[in-house]
């Protein structure tokens, strides 16, 4: 049974009511357990858990250091293109927005790569709008051919692909894929994905299954926090993770926490998550799954990241530019996907992380280690 089929058996409103019905007793029971189930996770993200945030944070720190040591992985996004054939209400790259469109050619790509290497990064996240005609497999083949010898770890955040495509890209150097469902509520999903291939809810939600079958080393999950009621959406992320780990147990997993940020189009979130609630969610995921990687991007403020990184985060971006060509040519601000909130340089972030007693990991892993297995 695929996760899409499992999802048909999950009633959104019943889950939402179950989360909000959790009591202090449910939370305390969850906090005493060494292995949590999805019902425990509901308790930890419920309003009833808010008074227990300090206890959750202390345990989150303990589990994170126990599993990941005193390390924080650094990565940086490289935006390949802002071309997009979808209309999505919340995204600056959406086809209906009147922005200048561009796709990096190989000369520009290498200029970006050189600028990124000078900052110290060896873990690269390749990002693009969803335009199969301009930014599809022929383009990705060129990109991986150029970059696989320059970076030890290549991640991809683009349109969902077929299993055979992922298998080919894996051979070309692909290590991990991030694919956010945006929202797990089918009706809300349809409201915000108006035109284009991304409007196919089923195809998108089955992407992690295709990744697992293709043997991709790591996959990233997440909901776009704000499209619908955040607690219910984030429960579905946990349920999706639980399903995937049981089925594709050789794969590593990560979760991100993208809260909606200002972008072209002035979209207003349906559900507002405050900083304290995001801390609660991060700790809840860590208690639910000590092995999952938790990532925090420059969408969040300096103050928030400084305080939250030690609590359970295992990877962060730094010095991010969200427009094609942003590292080698900082004049293209009009091409941004969204506004970042923490614009400190990678070196500044590295020094900060060191003051926290943590070690910066610039290189995630080495492919030569896989050959030894």
How do residues 1-34 score in pLDDT, each as one tens digit?
889 999 999 999 999 999 999 999 999 999 999 9
Asked whether residue 348 is assigned to any structural domain, the reply reads yes
Q: What CATH number does the domain containing 323 carry?
A: 3.20.20.70
Residue range(s) defining the domain that contains residue 89: 71-228+251-271+289-364
Mean pLDDT estimate for the chain: 92
pLDDT-based confidence at residue 268 (cuts at 50, 70, 90): confident
pLDDT score at 40: 98
Mean pLDDT of 191-217: 96
- Give per-residue pLDDT as tens, 333-348: 545 555 678 989 999 9
Return the CA Rg of the chain.
20
pLDDT-based confidence at residue 372 (cuts at 50, 70, 90): very low
Mean pLDDT of 50-73: 97
Asked whether residue 55 is assigned to any structural domain, the reply reads no
Of 55-64, 75-84, 267-276, the poorest mean pLDDT is in: 267-276
Higher-confidence position of 240 and 271 = 240
Q: What is the pTM of this model?
A: 0.93
Asked whether residue 17 is assigned to any structural domain, the reply reads no
Mean pLDDT of 289-293: 98
pLDDT score at 333: 53
- Give per-residue pLDDT as tens, 168-187: 999 999 999 999 999 999 99
Asked whether residue 173 is assigned to any structural domain, the reply reads yes
- Total domains in the chain come to 1
**230 and 262 in contact (C-beta within 8 Å)?**
no
pLDDT score at 187: 97
pLDDT score at 263: 54
pLDDT-based confidence at residue 373 (cuts at 50, 70, 90): very low
Of 83-92, 143-152, 213-222, the poorest mean pLDDT is in: 83-92
**265 and 307 in contact (C-beta within 8 Å)?**
no
Asked whether residue 371 is assigned to any structural domain, the reply reads no
Asked whether residue 135 is assigned to any structural domain, the reply reads yes
- Give per-residue pLDDT as tens, 318-327: 999 988 999 9
| Residue 149: exposure state from Cβ atoms within 10 A (0-12, 13-18, ≥19) | exposed
Beta strands (DSSP E) in the chain are 71-81, 87-88, 123-128, 153-157, 176-178, 193-195, 218-221, 252-256, 293-296, 315-317, 359-361
Asked whether residue 14 is assigned to any structural domain, the reply reads no
Nearest C-alpha neighbor of 27 from the set 15, 44, 51: 44
Asked whether residue 358 is assigned to any structural domain, the reply reads yes
- Give per-residue pLDDT as tens, 63-111: 999 999 999 999 999 999 999 999 998 887 888 877 788 999 999 999 9
d(CA 335, CA 337): 7
| Residue 15: exposure state from Cβ atoms within 10 A (0-12, 13-18, ≥19) | buried
């Amino acid at each position: 049974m695929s996760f899409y089929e499992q999802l048909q058996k999950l009633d959104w409103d019943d889950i939402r009511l179950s989360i909000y019905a959790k009591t202090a007793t449910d939370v305390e029971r969850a906090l005493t357990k060494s292995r949590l189930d999805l019902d425990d996770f509901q308790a930890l993200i419920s309003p009833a858990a808010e008074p227990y945030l300090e206890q959750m944070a202390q345990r989150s720190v303990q589990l994170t250091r126990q599993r990941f040591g005193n390390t924080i992985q650094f990565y940086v996004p490289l935006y390949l293109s802002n071309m997009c054939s979808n209309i999505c209400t919340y995204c600056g790259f959406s086809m209906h927005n009147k922005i200048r469109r561009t796709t990096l050619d190989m000369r520009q790509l290498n200029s970006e790569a050189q600028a990124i290497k000078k900052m110290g990064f060896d873990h690269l996240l390749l990002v693009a709008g969803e335009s199969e005609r301009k930014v599809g497999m022929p383009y990705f083949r060129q990109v991986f051919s150029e970059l696989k010898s320059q970076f030890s770890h290549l991640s991809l955040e683009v349109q969902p692909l077929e299993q055979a495509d992922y298998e080919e890209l894996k051979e070309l150097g692909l290590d991990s894929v991030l694919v956010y469902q945006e929202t797990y509520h089918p009706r809300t999903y349809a409201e915000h994905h108006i035109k284009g291939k991304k409007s196919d809810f089923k195809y998108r939600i089955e992407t992690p299954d295709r990744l697992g079958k293709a043997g991709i080393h790591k996959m990233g999950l997440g909901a776009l926090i704000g499209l619908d009621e955040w607690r219910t959406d984030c429960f579905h992320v946990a349920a999706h993770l639980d399903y995937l780990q049981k089925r594709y147990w050789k794969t590593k997993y990560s979760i991100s926490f993208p809260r909606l940020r200002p972008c072209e189009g002035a979209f207003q979130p349906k559900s507002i998550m405050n900083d304290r609630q995001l801390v609660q969610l991060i700790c809840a995921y860590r208690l639910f799954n000590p092995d999952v990687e938790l990532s925090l991007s420059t969408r969040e403020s300096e103050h928030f990241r400084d305080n939250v990184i030690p609590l359970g985060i295992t990877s962060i971006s730094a010095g991010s530019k969200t427009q094609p060509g942003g590292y080698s040519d900082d004049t293209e601000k009009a091409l941004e996907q969204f506004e970042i909130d923490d614009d400190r340089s990678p070196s500044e972030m590295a020094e900060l992380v060191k003051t926290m007693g943590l070690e910066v990991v610039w290189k995630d892993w080495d492919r030569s280690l896989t050959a030894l297995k």
